[in-house]
Amino acid sequence: MTAAEDRPGTVRVLLADDQALLRATFRLLIEANPDLEVVGEAADGAEAVALARAHQPSVVLMDIRMPRVDGLAATAAICADPTLAATRVLVLTTFETEEYVAGALRAGASGFLGKDVSADGLLDGIRTVAAGEALLSPTATRALISRFLGTAEPDPPAGSVARLAVLTAREREVLVLAAEGRSNAEIAERLVVSPLTVRTHVQRAMTKLHARDRTQLVVIAYQTGLVRR
């Protein structure tokens, strides 16, 4: 049992990046916080998948460009593994790799951060994703999802309408607003309901659509054509 597993409520983080210096920097930053713990370091995607299965981390901080197996393939493998259903992937990237980020979101990633993120931004991002929320509110993320997820499939695949039929009218309304990058508080103000009510609708939609988290719920909204650019 690791030190992290000895401390209930600790967010367990796996670092996946081929740059040892960057991993060491992230480790120092993360472990300076009592609610966060680094449980392993991977230098490539294959090692990231193996260590994720071994340590069952709360969050995998995943670089995209790595040797052997890249972060995109590793993200898909982790998110497709039923034994890692509680593990979230937070992708680290730069704005020059937007297509890869969109692919990572489709593969199951819960969000992304630029490598120029501030220390507080990184820590907040890890905690946000660990809590099952999505990093979808920043303008850059909103534009990214609109550009790639909203245009990659102009014609919704067969069965999309039937898939959304399980949602109530209000759940669809909440899903559309969430896909626009609005927070629960913003959605609540728009619909004149409480943030708790919005959260309940989001959770019910996630359950009905078998979404891992809020990010995947938004991806579904674009893929099914419920929301378009």
Task: State pLDDT tens for residues 147-178.
Answer: 555 554 555 555 666 788 899 999 999 999 98
Distances 56 to 11, 16, 196 between C-alpha atoms, Å: 11, 14, 30
Per residue in 109-129, pLDDT (tens digit) is 888 887 788 899 899 989 988
- Torsion angle of alpha carbons 102, 108, 111, 113, nearest 10°? -70
Q: What is the mean pLDDT of the chain?
A: 83
Closest by Cα among 8, 105, 10 to 59? 10
Same fold, 3-135 and 160-223: no
Average pLDDT estimate for 53-60:
97
CA distances to 23, 28, 41, 154 from 128, in Å:
20, 19, 21, 31
The correct CATH number of 160-223 out of 1.10.10.10, 1.10.287.10, 3.40.50.300, 3.40.1390.40 is 1.10.10.10
Superfamily of domain 3-135: Response regulator (3.40.50.2300)
- Domains of the chain: which residue ranges? 3-135, 160-223
